[in-house]
Amino acid sequence: MGAGHTHALYVHEHSPVHALPPHVKVVATVAFVVTVAVTPASAGPVFAVAALLLAAVTRLARVPLRFVVARLVVVVPFLLVALMVPFVASGERTEVLGVSVAAEGLVAGFGIAARASLGATASILLAATTEVPRLLRGLERLRVPPVLTQIATFMVRYLEVVAGELGRMRTAMVARGHDPRWLWQARPVAAATGALFVRSYERGERVHAAMLARGYTGTMPQLDEESEVTTATWARALAPAVLLVAVLVVWAVLT
Amino acid sequence: MHAPDGFLTVPAAVGTGLISAGAVGAALRQSREQLGEQQVPLAGLTAAFVFAAQMVNFPVAAGTTGHLMGGALAAVLLGPWVGLLVVSVVVIVQALVFADGGISALGYNLINMAVVTSLGGWGVFRLGRRVLPKTRVGVAVAAGLAGGASVVISAMAFSLEWLVGASVPVAFDRVFGAMVGVHTLIGIGEGAITGLAVAAVLASRPDLVTGAVGLEPPRGPRTRVRPFAIGAVVVSLLVAAVVAQFAVDDPDGLERVAEDTGFAASAQDHPLGNSIFADYATAGVADESTSLAIAGISGTLLTLAVGGGLFSAVRRRGPSTSSPTQPVG
C-alpha cells in the first residue's frame, strides 16, 4: 500500500494517446495486434510498416523508446525459438553463411520473431498510456463480465503488497542461510508459498470485512462519468490498425 | 508458457479463443454460488497470490531453477471453477498489462495455463484422493500428483494445438517429445511445491483448502504407505506410456533438456516479466536421438523418486504440525 498508486508499467504523460478513452484504446490495440497476427511471415514490408506505425504512436504518446525496448525482454525467449526454427524445421534446405537451414523455416522463424515483438510492443504501449484501473473499467465497458474485471482490479491493487510480502519472506529465508540447489531442498520454498496463500487469503477477508463496513454491496462505485465517444475519436484511435490493414491488402494484391 | 502473438495460425487462435471463452463462461456460472459478488475481494487477493506464486523460483538441480504455474495449486485450494477463473484473470492481466503472452494468443494461453491446468489438475487430484488415505498426507500427495500432472497436461495441450495450428513446419512428434520431456522435469518440481504448499496450508488453515473438504480429523502420525505407492506407480507408468506413445521418432535426451533448462535461471532477472524460459527455447532443439525406452523409463524413475521423496518429506512433517488435539505418538 502507501504512496505511488500508478503502476511501474505506466508512463505518466499528457498526450493525445493518453487522453483516448480506455475502451477505445483496447479495441484499437486488439485490432492492430490481430492484423499483425494474420500477416503472413513472408510479408516483410508489412511488418516494417507496422513497426513504423508503433514508433509513431510511441513518439506521439511521449513514451521513451528506451522504456519500450526494456519492456520487450519479455519476448526474448521467443526470439530464441525463432532463431532455432530454421535449424529444426522440415522441408527444403538452403545455405546461409555456409550453414544448412530449412528455407521455409527461415521465413517462419522471422514471422514468429516479428509478430511476437510487434504484438508485445502494442500491448506495452497500451499499458504505458493507460492506468490499470481505467483499463479494467474500459474492459467492463466492452461487456467483459464485471466479476472478471473486479477480480482483476483487486489483483492489480494488491499485487505489489503480496509480492512485497513474498520478497520479505525470501529475504528472511536467505538471511537464515536458505540457498536451495536441489529439488529435495525445496520444502521451505513450498512452505513459504503456503504461508503466502494463507496471508493473502486472510488479507482478503480483512479487506472484504472493511469494505462491507463501508457499505460495499458487490459493485464498485463509478468515479468518473462515461461520456459518449465521438466517431472522430474512434477514427483517430483506429487509424494505425486501419492503415496497417490497408497496407496488408495492398501487399496481398501486389504479390 | 506465455506464447506471443501469431505463434499459432489464425484459425487455431480463433478456435482456442472460443473454447477458452466457453470454459471461462462455464466457470463464471459454476462459481456464482461459491463466489457471490461479495466474495470478489477474496478472489482478487488469491489472484494476486497466484501471480506472486508464479514468481516463486524452486530449485530443480545444481542451481537450476524453475517456477510455478500454479493452476493445479489454485484448483486444489479454491476448487476447479474458482481456480480456473482466478488463473484466467492472471493470464489476461499478464497479456494486457505486462505484455507477457500475446493478446491475440489469449485463446491458447488461457487453455494451456488456466483451463487444462485447473480442470486437469483437479481431475488428477480427485483420482488421487480416491486412491490415497483420507488424511492430510493423502490430500497433500494428491495435490502434488495433480501439480505434476497439470504441467505435463499443459505441455500436451500445447503440442495438440501445435498439431492443429502450427505456424512453422516443425514436426508434431518433435514438438511433443521436447515439450512433454521438458515439462515432465518441470512438472516434478511443480508437483513437489504444490504438494508441500498444500500441506503447509493444511497445517495452519485446513478450512481454506477446498479440496480437503470432508477430510477426517487427523488420527495420528501413522500413515499408510501402500496406497500412495500404488497410486504413484500407476500415475507415473501412465505418464511414461503416454509419452512413449507419441514421442516416436526423435525423443529428446533428458540430459540435453536439463542443460537447456539453464534458461530458467535467467527468469530471475526480471521478476515481473515471468515466463517459463525453458519452455519454448528448448522445444525441438535437441537432435540427439536417445532411445525411446530410456526416455520412458528414466521419466518413470524420476517421477517415482520424487513422488517417494515428496511422500517422505510430508510424512516427516506430519508429527511436528499436528494440532494440539491430536494424540502424540
pLDDT along chain B (329 residues), means of 10: 81 90 91 72 88 77 69 90 92 86 88 92 92 87 92 89 78 77 83 89 86 66 58 62 49 40 38 36 40 54 62 53 45
pLDDT of residue A27: 93
Question: For residues B30, B33, B37 and B42, what is the CA-based torsion angle, rounded to 10 degrees?
Answer: -90
Within 10 angstroms of residue B178's Cβ, the number of other Cβ atoms is: 28
Q: Which pLDDT tens digit goes with each residue over A75-88?
A: 777 777 777 777 77
Q: What is the pLDDT of residue A252?
A: 87
pLDDT at A126: 92
A-contacting residues in B 164-183 (Cβ below 8 Å) = 167-171, 174
Q: What long-range pairs does B296-299 form, CB within 8 A, spacing at least 24? A: B296/B240, B296/B241, B296/B243, B296/B244, B297/B240, B298/B254, B299/B181, B299/B184, B299/B236, B299/B239, B299/B240, B299/B243, B299/B254
Query: Which amino acid makes up residue A202?
Result: E
- Give me the pLDDT at residue B30, please: 86
| Mutation target among B50, B97, B316 for the A interface, most CBs of A within 10 A | B97
pLDDT confidence of residue B18 = 93
Substitution target from A193, A205, A207 for chain B, most B beta carbons within 10 A: A193
* Contact predicate B208/B83, CB 8 Å: no
Nearest C-alpha of chain A: how many angstroms from B327?
24
Backbone φ and ψ for A101, nearest 5 degrees, come out as -135, 160
Q: A96 pairs with which residues across the strands?
A: A99
Give the whole-angstrom CA distance, residue B190 versus residue B179: 15
Sequence-distant (6+) residues with CB within 8 A of B18 are B107
Rg of chain A (C-alpha set): 23
Q: What span, in angstroms and rounded, lies between the C-alpha atoms of A194 and B243?
A: 31
Work out the end-to-end distance of chain B between its first and last CA atoms, rounded to an integer number of angstroms: 45
Give residue A54's pLDDT: 93
Task: Pick A152 or B295 by higher pLDDT.
Answer: A152
Closest CA to B231 of B298, B307, B148: B307
Minimum Cα–Cα distance from A104: chain B residue: B169
Return the amino acid letter for A6. T
Per the CB < 8 A criterion, the answer to whether A135 and A26 are in contact is yes
pTM of the model: 0.76
Closest CA to A200 of B201, B35, B318, B240: B201
Q: Which of A20-34, A80-94, A145-159, B315-329 is most confident?
A: A20-34
Using CA atoms, how far apart are residues B177 and B159, in angstroms rounded to an integer?
9
Report CB contact under 8 Å: A147, B174. no
At residue B323, the pLDDT reads 44
> What residues of chain B, 203 to 262, have a C-beta less than 8 Å from chain A?
203-205, 208
Residues of chain A in contact with residue B15, where contact means CB-CB under 8 angstroms, are: none
Residues in B closer than 8 angstroms to A47, CB to CB, are none
Interface membership of A208 toward B (CB under 8 Å): yes
How far is B282 from A78, CA to CA, in rounded Å? 10
Residue B298's pLDDT is what?
59
What is the percentage of chain A residues whose pLDDT exceeds 90?
16
The residue ranges of DSSP E strands in chain B, in sequence order, are 57-61, 64-67
User: Is the pLDDT assigned to residue A217 strictly greater than 50?
Assistant: yes
Q: Yes or no: say if A189 and B68 are a contact pair by the CB < 8 Å rule.
A: no
Inter-chain residue contact B96 with A123, CB threshold 8 Å: yes
Residues 99-138 of B with CB under 8 A from A: 99-100, 102-105
Q: What is the dihedral of CA A109, A111, A115, A117, to 10 degrees?
A: 50
Task: Determine whether the interchain pair B263/A135 forms a contact, defined as Cβ–Cβ distance below 8 Å.
Answer: no
Comparing CA positions, the residue from A174, A203, A202, A167 lying closest to residue A188 is: A174
Mean pLDDT calculated for residue range A91-113: 74
Question: Is the minimum CB–CB distance between B273 and chain A shorter than 8 Å?
Answer: yes
**What is the rounded average pLDDT of the residues A76-103?**
72
Report H helices in A92-186.
103-129, 132-141, 146-175
Q: Which residues pair with B61 in a beta bridge?
A: B64
* A95 three-state secondary structure: strand
Neighbours of B81 (CB within 10 A): 24
Among residues A149, A128, A110, A131, which one has the least CA distance to residue A66?
Answer: A128
